[in-house]
Amino acid sequence: MHPIAEALRAGGRTFLRILVIRQDRRFAEIFRLARLRQVPVFVEPRSHLDRLVPQGSHQGVIGLVASKRYADEEELLVYAQRQRDAPFLLVLDGVEDPQNLGAVLRTAEAAGVHGVFIPDRRSVGLTAGVAKASGGALEHIRVARCPNIGKLVQRLEELNIPAYALDPQAERSYTDLDFCGPVALVLGVEGKGIRPGVLKKCGDRIRIPMGGQLASLNLSASAAVVIFEAVRQRRLAAFSHRPI
């Protein structure tokens, strides 16, 4: 229910129609938002919705939508550079699990990341599973697909947007960095990590120090730790520069 409501609020998708199992208080917000967007809503038996989503949990509501449009690489870079605060970008190298990508997008949107880059191959796309795992965040964050992540990282460095690779083998802790200026965080898939060719192009490598027996956190947890350290630093810097 939540991803459909957020998609209606954001207005970034073209809804063909919405199907619900009944018309009552539980679905009142869906009906209200659909009316505002002029999206037709049909009440259908649960068996009909079950047939449309045989392996999933639809919570009594299904939205039939056009695919979300990917942002253009250039468009996203221009957007990030035009914001009031310094560019804050995320680069994901080869994330193939929809749950992981959705969770990272949710964190990135909550933190105010300006956009996310993913490769156009060897990566999950913006599927229904990703949308659901993002809890509605997919409707509010820009995601661009790139033909070559290595070249993207090189270009970011040329644009004075330092690219920091999260690498468990790195010497520096993520807390040693100054995230207050332009920054692009580069993360790889669990197990394999960032591909060597991409890693080589990053300006620096950072790690999250581990105090237990495990060598690293999973992708979504690692992303959340580093992204919100950047948020903490940037907010502190903004507060310290406010006029009294």
Q: Average pLDDT of each block of 10 consecutive residues along the chain (244 residues)?
A: 90 84 93 92 91 83 80 95 96 92 96 95 83 90 93 96 95 95 93 90 94 83 96 89 59
Q: Please give the torsion angle defined by the CA atoms of residues 148, 154, 157 and 161, in that order, rounded to the nearest 10 degrees.
A: 0
Q: Walk me through the domains of the chain, giving residue ranges and CATH numbers.
A: 2-65 (3.30.1330.30), 73-240 (3.40.1280.10)
What distance in Å separates the CA atoms of residue 127 and residue 131, rounded to the nearest whole number?
6
- The amino acid present at 145, given as its one-letter code, is R
**Hey, what are 149's tokens?**
């992540």
pLDDT of residue 67: 60
- In this prediction the pTM is 0.76
Residue 17, beta-bridge partner list: 64
What distance in Å separates the CA atoms of residue 240 and residue 172, rounded to the nearest whole number?
26
* Residue 55: C-alpha distances to residues 49, 58, 89, 102, 207 (Å): 11, 9, 34, 18, 38
pLDDT of residue 197: 93
3-state secondary structure of 167: coil
CA angle 200, 204, 206 (to 5 degrees): 110
CB under 8 Å to 142, separation ≥6 — which residues?
71, 75, 76, 79, 114, 115, 116
